[in-house]
């Protein structure tokens, strides 16, 4: 049947115990209510039927005292009509294994679904629009576990200053821990400094499919008369640690100073098994991160303060004009650049496919303020600024890493001590095409350590010599210009590796190293116009090991008189 309710003085429906809608339930329509649409003292359970609620002064559905909500089937159409209210309010647990929930959240400080303690989503759909300032699609005060189901949200609200802190319009906001092992999540954010997924404590992503896009620009907000906070849009952000062990991610941020992934703690990508190239797994974890927005402020843009209720220009904590960023939490806010992946703590990449693309000045690929360790996986970075940057050590133990920068360094450590960049294994291909003083590998004059792996670094150089300590034979090839061709390293007549240059390189040096190089032997670097016809293994159609290749021109010839030579 059909039931239409209007609550002229309080709730449209109220039960001091529970409300359960059977599979055979028909249609319930709450036209309006002076308080909640459906109010329950114990729990609300929906197995079937269609419920539409709008024009409420309170929450659409409120499970009050015990505060449990269970969604197994049916359809909920909920319009949040008043500021600081909820579509579904569960003071205790929220459990969804089926059903379809359609949310419209157009009011300030409101939430589509809010729950208080550990809750679970294992099926069903949650979709809708979230346009209220500082509003949230899903607000989890307790832990959220998701194993299946579909979440599809469009957000557009602006941030607000609340109690001298920032509150952002967010698709999924978790105050506790987040654990997602499956399902599909799609979030499109167009608001100033909008967030896709934001987590305060540990976040673990072990499966699922994610498509998250942010297009909003950055903003500077006045918290007090003397304190300002900068903010920018982020696809996935965490105040604690974040762990990615599985899933497929397509993350894109196009607004000024936008970020794909930011972490205040440590960031772990992939599951560690070993460092062997044969163990590279690009299927279990596949991640593509892209930013296209300019820095804030740009060279033609003045910094603009924003009122507590409106958008404006901006920056981002952790921003900065220099590689590696910087930022000021109070006082005058500094500028900020776009980043695809950024962590204040250490970044460890154990496996998976990670692709980072940037297009503007200051826009780096993977940045850590602490250290970066690559144990395995396939990393493809094509960036305007540094592809990989850290204030600490950058260590490559395995995997395939391709870094091409057309505006700065390929790989840049600002630590300035021996081993700032260390290669013990894997493949490291680092190229800068802008010329001196930028480099393929830049360790700020510190000594690079090479004890294994396949290495090719090309670009400019601000020094007359390169500092390398190598237990595996390595060579610094001076004054080397390479056109857009295939480049092969030989020991005598044996081809060790071939790589495809992304562009013409005119630089002061190229650094090469590989298993198979030996002291006392004559080595060659040759170029050709054809890809290898065979090889033992190949990576990303950019690098081949033990290739069979036709070469035409020897651009360098040298005798490897010691483990490290300059020629």
- pLDDT for the residue 59: 98
Q: Which residues contact 73 (CB under 8 A, 6 or more apart)?
A: 23, 46, 47, 48, 98, 99
E strands along 241-396, which residues?
242-244, 247-253, 259-263, 267-269, 285-291, 305-306, 339-343, 347-349, 353-357, 364-368, 372-374, 378-383, 388-390, 394-396
The pLDDT of residue 326 is: 32
End-to-end CA distance of the chain: 87
Q: What is the pLDDT of residue 526?
A: 94
Q: What is the pLDDT of residue 508?
A: 72
Per the rule left: phi > 0, alpha: psi between -120 and 50, beta: everything else, 84 is left
Count of CB atoms within 10 A of residue 164's CB? 10
Burial 193-229 (b: 16+ CB within 10 A, else e): bbbbbbbbebbbbbbbebbbbbbbbbbbbbbeeeebb
Q: What is the pLDDT, as a whole number, of residue 92?
A: 95
E-only strand ranges, 215-307: 219-222, 228-231, 234-238, 242-244, 247-253, 259-263, 267-269, 285-291, 305-306
- Which pLDDT does position 309 carry in this prediction? 37
Report the pLDDT value the prediction gives residue 481, as an integer from 0 to 100: 83
Does the model's pTM come out above 0.85? yes
3-state class of 187 per DSSP?
strand
- 506 DSSP β-pair partners: 481
Per-residue pLDDT of the chain (567 residues; tens, 9 = 90+): 999 999 999 999 999 999 999 999 999 999 999 999 999 999 999 999 999 999 999 999 999 888 999 999 999 999 999 999 999 999 999 999 999 999 999 999 999 999 999 999 999 999 999 999 999 999 999 999 999 999 999 999 999 998 888 999 999 999 999 999 999 999 999 999 999 999 999 999 999 999 999 999 998 888 888 888 779 999 999 999 999 999 999 999 999 999 999 999 999 999 999 999 999 999 999 999 999 999 887 544 444 444 433 333 333 333 333 333 333 333 334 568 999 999 999 999 999 999 999 999 999 999 999 999 999 999 999 999 999 999 999 999 999 999 999 999 999 999 999 999 999 999 999 999 887 888 899 998 899 999 999 999 998 776 666 789 999 999 999 888 888 799 999 999 999 999 999 988 876 788 999 999 999 999 999 999 999 999 999 999 999 999 999 878 899 999 999 999 998
Tokens of 395: 């260590």
In contact, 69 and 60? CB cutoff 8 Å: no
pLDDT value at residue 333? 41
Assigned token pair, 354: 């990670």
């Amino acid at each position: 049947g059909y039931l239409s309710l209007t609550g002229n003085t309080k709730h449209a429906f109220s039960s001091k115990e529970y409300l359960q809608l059977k599979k055979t339930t028909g249609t319930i329509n709450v036209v309006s209510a002076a308080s909640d649409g459906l109010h329950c003292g114990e729990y609300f359970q929906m197995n079937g039927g269609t419920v539409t609620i709008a024009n409420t002064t309170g929450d659409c559905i409120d499970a009050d005292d015990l505060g449990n909500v269970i969604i197994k089937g049916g359809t909920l159409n909920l319009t949040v009509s008043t500021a600081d209210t909820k579509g579904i309010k569960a003071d205790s647990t929220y459990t969804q294994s089926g059903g379809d929930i359609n949310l419209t959240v157009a009011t300030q400080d409101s939430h589509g679904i809010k729950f208080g303690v550990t809750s679970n989503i294992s099926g069903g759909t949650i979709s809708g629009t979230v346009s209220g300032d500082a509003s949230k699609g899903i607000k989890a005060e307790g832990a959220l576990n998701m194993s299946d189901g579909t979440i599809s949200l469009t957000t557009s609200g602006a941030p607000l200053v609340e109690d001298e802190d920032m509150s952002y319009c967010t698709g999924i906001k978790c105050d506790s821990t987040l654990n997602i092992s499956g399902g599909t999540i799609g979030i499109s954010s167009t608001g100033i400094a909008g967030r896709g997924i934001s987590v305060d404590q540990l976040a673990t992503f072990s499966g699922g499919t994610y498509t998250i896009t942010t297009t909003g620009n950055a903003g500077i907000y006045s918290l007090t008369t003397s304190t300002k906070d900068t903010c920018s849009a982020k696809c996935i952000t965490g105040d604690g640690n974040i762990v990615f062990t599985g899933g497929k991610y397509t993350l894109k941020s196009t607004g000024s100073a936008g970020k794909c992934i930011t972490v205040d703690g440590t960031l772990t990508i992939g599951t560690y098994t070993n460092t062997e190239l044969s163990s590279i797994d690009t299927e279990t974890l596949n991640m593509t991160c892209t930013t296209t927005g300019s820095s804030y402020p740009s060279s033609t843009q003045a910094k603009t303060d924003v009122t507590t209720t409106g958008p404006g220009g901006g920056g981002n904590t952790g921003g900065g004009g220099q590689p590696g960023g910087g930022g000021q939490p109070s006082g005058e806010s500094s500028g900020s650049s776009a980043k695809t992946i950024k962590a204040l703590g250490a970044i460890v990449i154990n496996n998976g496919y990670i692709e980072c693309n940037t297009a503007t000045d200051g826009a780096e690929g993977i940045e850590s303020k602490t250290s970066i360790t690559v144990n395995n996986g396939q990393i493809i970075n094509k960036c305007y600024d540094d592809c990989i940057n850290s204030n600490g050590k950058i260590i490559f133990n395995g995997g395939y890493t391709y870094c091409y920068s057309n505006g700065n360094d390929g790989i840049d450590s600002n630590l300035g001590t021996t081993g700032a960049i260390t290669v013990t294994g894997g493949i490291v291909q680092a190229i800068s095409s802008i010329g001196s003083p930028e480099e393929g590998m830049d360790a700020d004059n510190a000594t690079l350590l090479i004890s294994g792996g396949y290495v090719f670094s090309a670009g400019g150089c601000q020094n007359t010599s390169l500092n390398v300590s190598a237990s595996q034979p390595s060579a610094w090839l001076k004054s080397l210009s390479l056109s857009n061709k295939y480049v092969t390293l030989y020991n005598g007549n044996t081809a060790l590796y071939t790589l495809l240059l992304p562009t013409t390189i005119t630089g002061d040096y190229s650094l090469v190293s590989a298993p198979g190089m030996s002291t006392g032997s004559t080595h060659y670097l040759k170029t050709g116009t054809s890809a290898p016809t065979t090889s033992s293994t190949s990576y990303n159609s950019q690098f081949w090991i033990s290739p069979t290749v036709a070469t035409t021109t020897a651009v360098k010839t040298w005798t490897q008189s010691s483990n490290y030579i300059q020629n």
